Amino acid sequence: NAGVTQTPKFRVLKTGQSMTLLCAQDMNHEYMYWYRQDPGMGLRLIHYSVGEGTTAKGEVPDGYNVSRLKKQNFLLGLESAAPSQTSVYFCASSPRLAKNIQYFGAGTRLSVL
């Protein structure tokens, strides 16, 4: 039972490069989320999705785009990476009828040089 799987686990980018982080969940959850975690801070919500084909902005959406083409996948894109996007990224999912319980992936550590 995989739960929420994030790929890759680690990545180093140069400023200006682009990349996509993949989040996959096998629990048939409707809600999915992308957070970033920075030292000394809690998690901050970047974007979220309440269902296939829908996305919405969170607290810190600038510089990121997302897509939810399939219910089980939620992609986070960085079109032109900046050093300020160096962070640990967490994906989470929750079922619609119990949306207050989020299941998290193991995180992706991203460094932008």
Partner 1 sequence: AQKITQTQPGMFVQEKEAVTLDCTYDTSDPSYGLFWYKQPSSGEMIFLIYQGSYDQQNATEGRYSLNFQKARKSANLVISASQLGDSAMYFCAMRERGDFGNEKLTFGTGTRLTIIP
User: Which residue, 44 or 71, is less far from partner 1 as judged by CB?
Assistant: 44
Q: Give me the 72-111 binding string for partner 1, x by CB under 8 A, dash otherwise.
A: ----------------x-x-x-------xxxxxxxx----
The three-class DSSP label of residue 25 is strand
Residue 53, C-beta contacts closer than 8 angstroms, at least 6 positions apart: 68, 69
Q: Pick between residue 54 and residue 80 the one whose CB is nearest to partner 1.
A: 54
| Shortest Cβ 18–partner 1 spacing (Å) | 25
Positions in 10-39 near partner 1 (CB under 8 A): 33, 35
Alpha-carbon span 110 to 98, nearest angstrom: 30
Provide the edge-to-edge strand list for the sheet that holds 4-7: 4-7, 19-25, 73-78, 65-67
Give the separation between CA 62 and CA 108, rounded to whole angstroms. Answer: 19
Residues 39-78: x where in contact with partner 1 by CB under 8 A, - otherwise, as a string: -xxxxxx--x-x-----xxxx-------------------
